[in-house]
Amino acid sequence: MLIFPSVLVKPAHGADFQTWSDIATIYTFSDRWRYDGDQGVRGVLSDSDFTLVYFRPSVRYRVKSWFTVHGGIRFFKTFFDAGDNTFELGPWQGLRFVWP
């Protein structure tokens, strides 16, 4: 399993600075199956007017050496200082074809 933690501080429109923290995980179950995902927090240490907590798990299945199917789901919870917090749920899928 690989874990890639990172913290980014970058200028953001409407704020003096914005902080992001992200942990990416990769776990290969076999030659065909792999788990990818990341989770993190945005804006918790900065002066922005929101904080975002997210989790995005996904899986990949290699059908052939030239064809991969992958998909996942994203969970976003946004906390706004002014109220009206939001929860987002979004599935996605993809196909990858590789040839010379």
* Ranges of residues in the chain whose predicted pLDDT is under 50: 7, 9, 12
Q: Which residues contact 59 (CB under 8 A, 6 or more apart)?
A: 33, 34, 35, 36, 70, 71, 72
Domain chopping of the chain, boundaries: 2-97
Cβ neighbours of 2 (radius 10 Å):
9
Q: What is the CA radius of gyration of the chain?
A: 17
Provide the pLDDT for residue 99. 86
Give the distance, in angstroms, between the CA of residue 89 and the centroid of all CA atoms in the same chain. 12
Residue 12 tokens read as 């953001």
